[in-house]
Structure 1
Amino acid sequence: MKTAVSIPDPVFQEAEELARRLGWSRSQLYTKAVHDLIVRYSDDPVTEALNALEDVEAAQAPLTPARKLIESGAWSW
């Protein structure tokens, strides 16, 4: 499918350079980028199930000092 999108000039130039270095067409680069974002932000039933299980176990377990720190939000990157 053909489409038109607006991209800031600096991002476009960086994308052009990356496509050139990888030996990809512009279409290949944008397709890969969009696909990777879709995969990254897609619902994953396995991860959701593991997260739900962890939530149940965490609710039943005593809080360790590390968990208290994490849940307090006092830590940062």
Structure 2
Amino acid sequence: MKIAVSVPDELFERADELAGRLGVSRSQVYARALEEYLASHDDENDPVTAKLNELAAQFEPALTPAAARQLVDSGQWEW
């Protein structure tokens, strides 16, 4: 999919240089960067959420990770 985004000139130049060093297109640099950014903000990769999920599985096997997160967010489950 093609998209148009605006980035500061310095960031564009750094991405362009990186693409040249890696021998890939700028599109590949931006796609990889976006993938890494999204992965770093995925609750599955969050160590706190992972620990809460582990604890929830020990105490309430029927409690899903999403349900456990709702309990914490609502203040109904303190840890």
TM-score, reference length from structure 1: 0.61
> C-alpha root-mean-square deviation of aligned residues, in Å?
2.0
Deviations along 1:26-75, one digit per CA (max 9) or x if unpaired, are 1110000000000001111784141464xxxxxxxxxxxxxxxxxxxxxx
CA 1:51–1:28 in structure 2 vs 1: closer, same or farther (change >3 Å)?
Answer: same
Structure 1 unaligned regions, length at least 5:
54-77
Structure 2 unaligned regions, length at least 5:
56-79
TM-score, reference length from structure 2: 0.59
Greater C-alpha Rg: 1
1:42 partner letter: D
Identity, % of aligned positions: 45
Alignment of 1:14-25 (within 5 A): 14-25=14-25
Aligned residues: 53
Aligned twin of 1:64: none
